[in-house]
Amino acid sequence: MAGKKIVCRCNDVTVEEVEALIDSGITDIEELKRLLRIGMGPCQGRTCIPIVLGILARKTGKKQEDILLPKARVPTRPVRVEVIVGGADE
Amino acid sequence: MSKIAVIGGGIIGVATAYELAKLGEEVILLEKNYFGSGSTFRCATGIRAQFTDEANIRLMKHSVERWEKLEEELESDIVFRQTGYLFLATSEEEVEAFKANIKLQNKFGVPTRLIDMDEAKEIAPILNTEPFLAGAWNPKDGKANPFKTLFAYLFRAKGLGVDAREHTEVVGFEREGNAITTVKFRYNGRIERVRVDAVLNAANAWAPLINEMAGLKRNLVPITAYKHQLVKTEPLEPGQAEPLICPPSWNDAYIIQDGEDGGIICGAGIEHKARSLNDVEPTYDFLRGVLDYAVRIAPPLRYAHIVRQWAGFYAKTPDSNPAMGKLLDNFYIAAGFSGHGFMMAPAVAQAMAELISKGRSKVPLDWEWYDPYRFERGELRTSAFQIG
């Protein structure tokens, strides 16, 4: 991965991939999220979403605060299944 | 060349826009939110021909044949994988029912067979075989990536000249007699008009609102939005649970391993009537309920982490079969997919495009079975087997 600038550490997404999709006309962050799997890994977008917002603002000329954040999903941190179904202490 | 408006930027609308453009029609595609935002991007990715009635089996047999060629046709990796569907029986009565279904499926060329639990364990090593007597196994069923599939269709549609607009809400029609002449829509706060020769309502859960705008009764095609939720785990080693695995008698609970990242998607028939057409909030009772089933199907899942839960709509008709056909002289509908829109899309899009453009289709789609006026006549079909 030498020389590659990583945006999403969960799914190995690079700056180049984000820029290429925006250049192809996809500027909705919900769509970028689903095509690149940013914000869909165990970290839930803590690293990648702010970086992608910055790239999106720069490429589209919009203000960063005018771009809606993608929908956040529960749980905000990964939870072991046994915590939900019981039996974690067995 | 006719001008055709397609309303709804989910997989049915986008794929039909592409098929219409292929037939040389001029198409405008209107989506009020972002593409795929309704049901398509919330689906469980499954594709199957294992239905329990002739109409759906024949339609899905054709659809799977289209899926097999779709990557080549759309020149895009849509992560289509024929990893099968494995239904599991928990009683002798269910085994007999599986045998009857398998016989019907085999009659139409779907190669489902009954398997024992040793073979099931080979297919899905994570499986707990103890509660189950036998499996109905079709290795040609499968899954695909809904995000990549929708955009593969969309890029090709745009390449063929489709005017695809998102964040564009249809607000009304002008109608002369039994024909729609104009579609009115709002984009960036402004109302625009476009004259059309035909309109397809592909708005699924929102389709009754579009019918009402066309001057029809909102309940002519009764579609109710039920929240269908999914939960996904962190990535597991590929190959653990690649097929969709479902014991139908356990409230239609199922698991399926994402073909791309290896996370396990868990679903179940724990449904809530949506409070509104914006109500896609996940619920805790679903999370608890679906995981109880998931660890009974695959005990090692107990040690996996949940990374995400989300909800979408089963846009359900009273018999869980979609409504497809003509509502007015030039106003068509393909909606109410009851959870099966993604898997049916390649066949349905081709059939609807041919119907609209040529008045008939070579797709083996039983128009009478899916007739949108059947509800008004008080006719219901055999309820389509739901899942995945």
Pick the CATH number of B3-42+147-222+319-374 from 3.50.50.60, 3.10.20.600, 3.30.70.270, 3.40.50.150: 3.50.50.60
Work out the number of other CB atoms within 10 angstroms of the CB of residue B327.
20
Indicate which of A13, A84, A89 best probes the interface with B, i.e. most B CBs within 10 Å of its own CB: A84
Q: For residue B384, what pLDDT is reported?
A: 79
Q: For residue B352, what pLDDT is reported?
A: 98
Take residue B358 and report the two structure tokens written for it: 């040529």
Please give the Cα distance from B237 to B216 (Å, whole number): 51
Q: For residue A71, what pLDDT is reported?
A: 85
In a domain, A54, yes or no: yes
Q: Are B254 and B86 in contact (CB under 8 A)?
A: no
Q: For residue B82, what pLDDT is reported?
A: 98
Is the bond preceding A78 in cis, omega lying within 30 degrees of 0? no
- CA separation, residue B334 to residues A43, B31, B183, B204, B355 (Å): 38, 15, 18, 7, 11
Q: For residue A2, what pLDDT is reported?
A: 64
At residue A90 the predicted structure's pLDDT band, cuts being 50, 70 and 90, is: very low
Q: For residue B322, what pLDDT is reported?
A: 98
In a domain, A90, yes or no: no
- C-alpha neighbours within 13 Å on the C-beta side of residue B146: 27
Q: Are B243 and B119 in contact (CB under 8 A)?
A: no
Q: For residue A72, what pLDDT is reported?
A: 84
Numbered residues of chain B with Cβ closer than 8 Å to any chain A Cβ: 34-37, 41, 147-148, 151, 155, 166-167, 233-234, 260-261, 282, 287-288, 291-292, 294-295, 301-310
Pick the CATH number of B85-139+224-316 from 3.40.640.10, 4.10.140.10, 1.20.120.420, 3.30.9.10: 3.30.9.10
A84 to B34: CB separation less than 8 angstroms, yes or no: no
* B179: DSSP letter: E
A34 to B147: CB separation less than 8 angstroms, yes or no: yes
Q: Are B230 and B265 in contact (CB under 8 A)?
A: yes
* B96 phi, psi to nearest 5 deg: -65, -40
Please give the Cα distance from A18 to A7 (Å, whole number): 8
pLDDT in tens, A38-75: 998 888 888 999 999 999 999 999 999 889 888 888 89
In a domain, A16, yes or no: yes
Query: What does the pLDDT average to over A11-31?
Result: 94
In a domain, A51, yes or no: yes
In terms of CA atoms, which chain B residue is nearest residue A11?
B261
Give chain A's domain count: 1
Q: For residue A42, what pLDDT is reported?
A: 85
- C-alpha neighbours within 13 Å on the C-beta side of residue A24: 17
A80 to B306: CB separation less than 8 angstroms, yes or no: yes
What residues in chain B have per-residue pLDDT under 70?
386-388
- A40 in contact with chain B, both atoms CB, cutoff 8 A: yes
Report the candidate in B271, B176, B196, B232 with the shortest Cα–Cα distance to residue B45.
B232
Distance from CA of A54 to the nearest CA of B (A): 20
Q: How many helices (H) and strands (E) does chain A have?
A: 4, 3
Sign of torsion over alpha carbons B335, B341, B346, B348: negative
In a domain, A27, yes or no: yes
Among B36, B260, B306, select the one facing A79 at the smallest CB separation.
Answer: B306
In a domain, A1, yes or no: no
Give me the domain span that covers residue A29: 6-85
CATH number at residue A42: 1.10.10.1100
Taking contacts as CB-CB distances below 8 angstroms, the residues of chain B near A87 are 302
Take residue B315 and report the two structure tokens written for it: 């846009």
Instruction: Give the residue extent of every domain in chain B.
Output: 3-42+147-222+319-374, 85-139+224-316
